[in-house]
Structure 1
């Protein structure tokens, strides 16, 4: 199975990477805990959105393949939801 990892999602992840570098810079500069935690919260939110996008983009293809193989597509949907819930 070929998974879909678009340039858009890769761009999102590079942006998150930059945000993490920014958090480290804030720490090196001894910035306030409030500023660091605020930026970490932004990183977490961005990562959550990236995960949701990856699951959404790939779930459709997984369902099609599962159905064509005679499998249970509902099980795949439940697994995708569990994956997203566990990530929080």
Structure 2
């Protein structure tokens, strides 16, 4: 799978969020604020994983030779999404 600029930028934003959480911890910010930001990071990661899986699924289905191949690819994608949770 080819990762486009949008996906790379999304991951860089997540990296910035993580750095923000670390800074909050270093500054001894309130735990509720830190956890709120950690939840935002988790949500961003979950959305990014869903985009990667869906794009990969679309590509794999287009390349699948038979209906059985497509079904196997779909099952694998669903398992990846479940595993990422």
Q: TM-score w.r.t. structure 2 length?
A: 0.91
- Please give the root-mean-square deviation of Cα atoms over the aligned residues, in Å: 1.5
The alignment of Structure 1 onto Structure 2 pairs a total of residues equal to 85
1:77 aligns with 2:74: yes
1:71 to 1:4, Cα distance in 2 relative to 1, 3 A: farther
> Where do 5+ consecutive residues of structure 1 fail to align?
none
Question: Structure 2: how far apart are the matches of 1:81 and 1:44?
Answer: 19
Q: 4+ residue stretches of structure 1 with deviation over 4 A?
A: none
Q: How does 1:1-88 map to 2 (within 5 A)?
A: 3-67=1-65, 72-88=69-85
Contiguous gaps of at least 5 residues in structure 2: none
More helix by share: 2
